[in-house]
Amino acid sequence: MSTVDNVIYIDGRRAVHPRSLDQTFHELRGCPDSGHSFCWIGLLRPSAEEVRAVAEEFDLHDLAVEDAIDAHQRPKLEIYGKTVFLVLRPAWYVDKVEVVEIGEVHLFLGPDFVVALRHAERPNLAEVRHRLEASPELLRRGPFAVLYAVLDKVVDDYGPVLDGLQNDIDEIEVQVFDGDPGVSRRIYQLTREVIEFQRAVEPLTDVLVELRELLKDRAGEADLELRRMLRDVADHATRAVERTEAFRQLLINILQVNAALVAQRQNEEITRLTQASYQQGEQVKRISSWAAILFAPTLVAGIYGMNFTHMPELNWVLGYPMAVAAMLLLALVLYLAFKRKGWL
């Protein structure tokens, strides 16, 4: 069975703890019709048959039952006659893998019943139940008191998620300015987590407005007090929405700054390579210039070193001085030409 807890409360106190849902339905019919008795049934990953059995007993609307079975719903509030159907998306942060896990809680509220259906282990609604049982005056207000306590728990649990995201963003900012090459991937992954969390949180503000309007239409001091408490939850939810939107915009800005810094580093690298290439070219020009200067005397020496018998100037007294002078003159002319062009 997927039943986590199954209790009937009378005047804000645990009165009957049935062993089965059938017993709950039977005992609830025998409770005094004072307006202060109701059952609270907690289900964890129930089968479709279990959900339909509860739905048949409490006359739940088919559309709401279908949503509860299929899951993967966005936060919303729907009213079917005297029954209220609420979808919540609790969240918790897994620091080791830097992932925001999103759960799902469905609540069915009627005049004398609360059915809490969870599709994940968290949040632990046993904590909510213990808190309410420690405050009989609050629990005496009936199913809507349970609704308030569950909402308060879900919204309070958003706080550690926001703190975890804030810590990751702070780390990313350091990585960006340190030039970490893997930071782009981390920014993208964290942006996805923020967007998923935003989808879970953002609709909650409208849900709380609708819920307060619903209680406004009901008369009674208890409902007035519940509206005040829900206003406090709404304030916390609004702050969570604002911080989430701020995180998303901040990550977009960080991504842009990172792209700019990467481009700047690439430009600096290109500039450095260009300067190195220029310096290398200058060295090549100097080497080529000196090679040409040395080549001219070598050419003259090579010609006069062929030792042919009939060769002009070989028997001339001034032949050697003329050859040396020609070599020096060619070298000087080439040196001056290269110097003028800035190659030397």
Q: Kindly write down the DSSP assignment for every residue of 262-319, as one continuous string.
A: HHHHHHHHHHHHHHHHHHHHHHHHHHHHHHHHHHHHHHHHHHHTS--SS-TTSS-TTH
Which domains does the chain carry?
Answer: 3-263 (3.30.460.20), 280-341 (1.20.58)
Asked if residue 35 has pLDDT above 60, the reply is no
Q: Respond yes or no on whether the N-terminal peptide bond of residue 123 is cis (omega within 30° of 0).
A: yes
**Backbone φ and ψ of 47, nearest 5°:** -75, 165
- Give 61-106 pLDDT, tens digit per residue: 999 989 888 878 889 999 998 899 999 999 998 888 778 999 999 9
Q: What is the mean pLDDT of residues 25-49?
A: 77
What's the rounded Cα separation, in Å, for the pair 254 and 260? 10
CA separation, residue 198 to residues 46, 84, 103, 118, 194 (Å): 27, 24, 13, 20, 6
Its pTM stands at 0.75
pLDDT per position as a tens digit, 235-271: 999 999 999 999 999 999 988 888 888 877 778 778 8
Q: According to the model, what pLDDT value does residue 317 have?
A: 67
Question: In angstroms, rounded to a whole number, what is the distance separating the alpha carbons of residues 187 and 176?
Answer: 10
Residue, of 298 and 244, whose pLDDT is higher? 244
Q: What is the pLDDT of residue 213?
A: 84
Give the chain's mean pLDDT: 83
Q: At residue 185, does pLDDT exceed 80?
A: yes
For the chain, state the CA radius of gyration: 42
pLDDT value of position 30 = 67
Query: Can you give the pLDDT at residue 304?
Result: 67
Position 183 scores a pLDDT of: 85
Instruction: Work out the number of other CB atoms within 10 angstroms of the CB of residue 115.
Output: 26
Spatial CB neighbours of 7, under 8 Å, sequence gap ≥ 6: 14, 16, 17, 18, 39, 40, 129
What is the predicted pLDDT for the residue at 32? 62
Task: Give 220's pLDDT tier (boundaries 50, 70, 90).
Answer: low
Label residue 204 by pLDDT band (50, 70, 90): very high
CA atoms of 27 and 87, how far apart (whole Å): 28
**End-to-end CA, the chain:** 93
Q: Could you give the CA distance from residue 99 to residue 143 in angstroms, rounded to a whole number?
A: 33
Out of 129-133, 273-277, 318-322, the most confident range is 129-133
